[in-house]
Amino acid sequence: MIIETRAVPPFFKNGYVAGCEETREGIVIDPGDEVDELIDAVRRHGLTIRYILLTHAHLDHVTGVGAAKKAFGAPVGLHQADNFLYDAVVQQGQMFGLQVEQQPKVDFFYDGEGPWRFGRFAAWVHHTPGHCPGGVCLAIGRDDDAARRLFVGDTLFAGSIGRTDLPGGNHQTLLRSIREVLFAFPDPTVVYSGHGEPTTIGRERHTNPFLA
Ligand SMILES: [Zn+2]
Ligand SMILES: [Zn+2]
């Protein structure tokens, strides 16, 4: 699987491109301020983008949705419970003293697990509330291979967990999502977080100080 990661100031939030080497189909995950670099990566790999999938609707994860949609013409998916955040992206920006443009409406809400397919790969959606009400984990892999890679948004980080002091956040709910949903995956599963370096389920299960 092709995976490209980009992050720019001020939030250094990871935007991702995932693609199928064989069919040249792909998805874009959480396009934010780094969207131009994601568009470059897509063009360099010659990918056709099937979906723009959002792990949640905090400001830093959605400010590039309009540009990505314009570039790729692909539908945008979000969990319905985060739509109130998505619609309030301008006000979210004001909280940080940033001027942010309203983004185009999402095209569909995740309806169960999916999956949403690109080439020989697909993204299965798992609801992981806590950091925000509509947070999800995108578990990506092939039908004929049980291994998955997890794109977890801001639910879990290498050595840390998501903040729960923003509207709709809940610490106990976050811990339950991590333990019951994310830790259901085997130790070697690679985790791509919304900020910082990738990690694995095993490393976080055994060493994350917030989950001891
Ligand atoms: Zn967030
Ligand atoms: Zn974030």
Residue written as token pair 């729960």? 164
Q: Residue 177: pLDDT above 90?
A: yes
Residue type, 32: G
pLDDT in tens, 73-106: 999 999 999 999 999 999 999 999 999 999 999 9
CA-wise closest residue to 155 among 185, 182, 186: 182
Ligand in closest contact with the CA of 14: 2
What pLDDT does residue 117 have? Answer: 98
**Ligand 2: centre distance to CA 138 (Å):** 15
Q: Which residues pair with 27 in a beta bridge?
A: 18, 51
User: 182: CA distance to ligand 1 center in Å?
Assistant: 17
Confidence of residue 12 (pLDDT cuts 50, 70, 90): very high
CA of 143 to the centre of ligand 2 (A): 29
67 CA distance to ligand 2 centroid (A)? 19
pLDDT computed for residue 172 by the predictor:
98
The helix/strand/coil state of 69 is helix
Q: For residues 211 and 175, is the Cβ–Cβ distance under 8 A?
A: yes
Which ligand places an atom closest to the C-alpha of 11? 2
Quick check: pTM over 0.75?
yes
Mean per-residue pLDDT over the chain, rounded: 97
Q: How far apart are CA 201 and CA 58, in angstroms?
A: 24
pLDDT tens for 142-170 read: 999 999 999 999 999 999 999 999 989 99
